[in-house]
Structure 1
Amino acid sequence: MFTGDLPFQAVHDSGEMPYIALAPMEGLMDGTFRELLTAVGGIDHCVTEFIRVTQQVFPEKVFYRLCPELHNGGRTLAGTPVHVQLLGSDPEFMAANAAKAASLGALAIDMNFGCPAKTVNRSQGGAVLLQYPDLLHRIATEVRKAVPAHIPVSAKMRLGFKDKKLALENAAALADGGIQWLTVHARTKTEGYRPPAYWSWIAEIKKVVDIPVLANGEIWTPEQAIQCQQESHSDLLMIGRGLVATPDLGHIIKKPDYQPMSWLQHLNLLEKLSESLQDLTDKQLTDRLKQWLHYFSMHSPIIKEVFDQVKREKDRATFFSALDRAKVSLSAEHT
């Protein structure tokens, strides 16, 4: 039986609701990115990219690679807790790896039953398991038993694989397995990331489980955050792409009088990211920077102009020269 504390109460007591968790975006949300976004603030916890569990218990280096924050008490340098996420279908190996992560200082263990990637689903991981509520229950039960009682265990799921007919049964199976909270991405695997997200289904899930439920999916703006809370009946949110596009979205949602970051402050984050990625090749670095710049440009016409001026550059020196020219030019136009 769980004997620890849930993270939501402290935030509730502080008056800074809604609670906002940073989603584990595979291939993007690594330790470097978590450091940058939590330094901006407004994020209450993060979840790592998943550790793909097969038929082995991984060595320590795998956990430290996916969660370098374990070297800092399981927190980013800004003090934000980071939870270790596991993805797999074997209850015994999921449990053994969860126990290993806990022994290394993981503050919480999360299980991924939402990843829609075909390669993951073909190997019986992620959202494909939403077709088997009994297996979800066995995995949750074994992981909960293997993790020390004071460390919370959670799970993330979608509304289903091909359809939503097992959504309530899957949620109940996980809750009955002993998890402390559930995050629901309000779309099926088949629906992918296409709008809309069906937040009202989360309200239905809340009726059949007695644990906290985090609402996830299609939250890009404070208006959407409000709508999500209203439809899901939850003030616990998990946001992924919205926080990549608007790094201070957590503050914007939580504090109505907050002054959002300027477009120049957004671009300065690119330079901080590049400082942490010096070991990459020029193409790898510029691809990573342009990926983030593209997200920025989705909500800023000014940054869209910057993106259009640098999107073809592959050499880091040329990229930053073009970026600097764009900043100077656009600063003159918009001051």
Structure 2
Amino acid sequence: MTLLLAPMEGLLDFVLRDVLTRVGGVDRCVSEFIRITGTLLPDKVFLRYLPELRNGSRTLAGVPVRAQLLGSDPVSMAENAARLAALGPEGIDLNFGCPAKVVNRHGGGAALLQEPERIAAVVGAVRRAVPAHLPVSAKMRLGFNDTGLMRECAQAMQAGGAAELVVHARTKADGYRPPAYWEHIPAIRAAVAIPVVANGEIWTVADALRCRAVSGCDALMLGRGMVADPGLARAIRAFDAGLPDADPVVWADLIPHLAAFWQLVCDDLEPRQRAGRLKQWLNLLRRRFVEAEVAYQHVRTMTDQRAITAWVAAQQAEARNSA
């Protein structure tokens, strides 16, 4: 089974990619979307979203990262894709799934699922603009308000030259509300000849197995489920190999990763963002770890970086002493 780490704006950025790929089990990551409007972006913008470009488009753990672009103008998308390609990404992914109103209002993301012909034009322009060896993939939802055009949209992406398709099994109207409708994915798989990856509501090993059975996909993309349980990809991989999860990730295992995450946040993000990012991750970790609830409640009202750093250091010391 192939396991991909999803892009999630404002959550699964290069900092969390670095930490989660250290835990293991992930085959490939996709960056947060880089929004393309009418301008040719400078290299520094691509590098801000994807600093892994300085490391052969790989995280420090060695996991390849594909760059994601979001836009609706074929010319601008092609020009920016060509500039990005010169920086050596593992591949270029195109976003046709973002449900954000500000993005959709300008014709980007999931809004294009109403116009398959425009999707084909965007994908085709990007495919022609980048070297033939560079993979171009696409991510879509099941539709905008309904699933009526899902096959046509998938076929448009294939016709434009996409070599892989990730399907987030919800419409734009569904947002992120459960469930994910994996049962629609077989119809998309039947409509195209390229590999299809299933995405949406995979929180546990049991979810992954159900998703694979219902969708028919051997490749899955993990998003919030992997953030809430950093050991999820490893556990899925162990089960898929017919092995017991002999080395499950427990809270004590996560403490060094939390410390590394906090250090990266302090090094690379604006001061106003730092405390919020740690709380955001702890909030999701509460789904899987009882200890995360205690940690979240402790730091929930903290804003001082030095105080949080001292708390993280105390957690590390406690984990070492109990080992």
Whole-Å separation in 2 of the counterparts to 1:53 and 1:124: 11
Q: Where does residue 276 of structure 1 map in the other structure?
A: 264
Q: Give the 3 Å change call, closer, same or farther, for CA 282–48 of structure 1 in structure 2.
A: closer
Whole-Å separation in 1 of the counterparts to 2:67 and 2:270: 28
Q: Where does residue 262 of structure 1 map in the other structure?
A: 250
Describe how 1:189-204 pairs up with structure 2 within 5 A: 189-204=172-187
Of 184, 195, 198, the residue aligned with 1:215 is 198
SS in 2 for 1:160: coil
The farther-off stretch of 268-277 and 115-124 is 268-277
Gaps of 5+ in 1: 1-17
The farther-off stretch of 101-110 and 214-223 is 101-110
Describe how 1:109-258 pairs up with structure 2 within 5 A: 109-256=92-239, 257-258=244-245
Amino acid at match of 1:43: V
**Residues 22 and 46 of structure 1 are in contact (CA less than 8 Å); yes or no, is this contact kept in structure 2?**
yes
Q: Is 1:301–2:284 an aligned residue pair?
A: no
The farther-off stretch of 47-56 and 179-188 is 47-56
Gaps of 5+ in 2: none
Q: Give the 3 Å change call, closer, same or farther, for CA 73–240 of structure 1 in structure 2.
A: same
Amino acid at match of 2:258: L
1:106, distance to aligned residue in structure 2 (A): 1.2
Q: TM-score, normalised by structure 2?
A: 0.92
Q: Where does residue 106 of structure 1 map in the other structure?
A: 89
1:318, distance to aligned residue in structure 2 (A): 2.9
Once the two structures are aligned, what percentage of the paired residues are identical?
A: 48
Aligned length in residues: 317
Amino acid at match of 1:292: W
Q: Give the 3 Å change call, closer, same or farther, for CA 141–232 of structure 1 in structure 2.
A: same
**Residues 27 and 63 of structure 2 are in contact (CA less than 8 Å); yes or no, is this contact kept in structure 1?**
yes
Q: Give the 3 Å change call, closer, same or farther, for CA 138–150 of structure 1 in structure 2.
A: same
**Residues 104 and 111 of structure 2 are in contact (CA less than 8 Å); yes or no, is this contact kept in structure 1?**
yes
**Residues 23 and 231 of structure 2 are in contact (CA less than 8 Å); yes or no, is this contact kept in structure 1?**
yes
Q: RMSD of aligned C-alpha atoms?
A: 2.1
1:324, distance to aligned residue in structure 2 (A): 6.5
1:192, distance to aligned residue in structure 2 (A): 0.6
SS in 2 for 1:48: strand
Deviations 1:250-303 (A, max 9, x none): 100000322211112223322111111225566532211111111111112232
The farther-off stretch of 73-82 and 111-120 is 73-82
Deviations 1:137-189 (A, max 9, x none): 11111111111111110000000111111111111111111110100000001
Q: TM-score, normalised by structure 1?
A: 0.89
Whole-Å separation in 2 of the counterparts to 1:168 and 1:315: 50
Of 250, 259, 277, the residue aligned with 1:288 is 277
**Residues 33 and 68 of structure 2 are in contact (CA less than 8 Å); yes or no, is this contact kept in structure 1?**
yes
SS in 1 for 2:177: coil
Whole-Å separation in 2 of the counterparts to 1:82 and 1:330: 31
Amino acid at match of 1:285: R
**Residues 85 and 112 of structure 1 are in contact (CA less than 8 Å); yes or no, is this contact kept in structure 2?**
yes
